[in-house]
Amino acid sequence: MNIDLHTHLLPGVDDGSSDVEESLKILERMKSGGVERVYLTPHLYSPRTPTDIFAIKESWRKHSASLNSSGVEVFLGSEIFLRPEVLTGEIISMGETNVLLVELPTDARPHYLVEAIETLQKRGFKIVLAHVERYGFLFKKSLLPFSRSKLEDEVFRLKDMGVLFQVNWDSLKDWRTVLLLEKRMVETIGSDKHHNSDGRGVIDFSSELASQFINDYYL
């Protein structure tokens, strides 16, 4: 099944789609690109984009029927910013499963990273790391010309812990994403689509790029 695991199309709850009409237009484009299932993943516990979990659930209750009329299966999830409060707070899993889409700070490794993931795993959750290519602390780029960039040991530690990696559609040609793909460390893809004017594309599963991703690298 062609899945977009990461979007911000739940209307009016974060920095994503402002209304259901905008979300439906984007879902129609996704359907044209062969997307069959979409997860709505509004920010949760993000210091940059504060949201209210009650408002998220209420928007889903109000709009879920309309969004599912698009011809694409639509499920509620969330993009959880991993911070200590998450370990004791209320969370929204992906489609009421045991899967969590988790976001990290992009500027530095959080000191609680491993402990927090282990705590969530002990609660029975499977962790998917959102847009993993953004976390510079997971990559080391050689300053020598023509030399290969490398992955930090932290990447292998996360994989050994059973963490799944999601990359963004618009980043498939980024050197960090390519490095992960070559190592066959990527399990899933998302558009991270917010709204019509965000400059992000929707996944086109009929494209040559998608074909290469699925046939050559996708696990």
pTM above 0.85, yes or no: yes
Q: How far, in Å, CA of 124 to CA of 72, rounded? A: 29
Q: How far is CA 140 from CA 9, 33, 86, 136, 172, in A?
A: 33, 34, 29, 8, 18
Residue 56 identity (one-letter amino acid): I
Q: What is the total count of domains within the chain?
A: 1
pLDDT at 146: 46
For residue 40, what is the domain's CATH number? Answer: 3.20.20.140
Each residue's pLDDT, cut to its tens digit, for the chain (219 residues) gives 999 999 999 999 999 999 999 999 999 999 999 999 999 999 999 999 999 999 999 999 999 999 999 999 999 999 999 999 999 999 999 999 999 999 999 989 999 999 999 999 999 999 999 999 999 999 987 654 444 568 889 999 999 999 999 999 999 999 899 999 989 999 999 999 999 998 899 999 999 888 877 766 654
Q: Which domain holds residue 120?
A: 3-217
Instruction: Give yes or no for a contact between 185 and 155, defined as CB atoms under 8 angstroms apart.
Output: yes
Closest C-alpha among 208, 218, 209, 206 to residue 29: 206
Q: Who contacts 200 (Cβ-Cβ below 8 Å, separation ≥6)?
A: 168, 169, 170, 191, 192, 193, 194
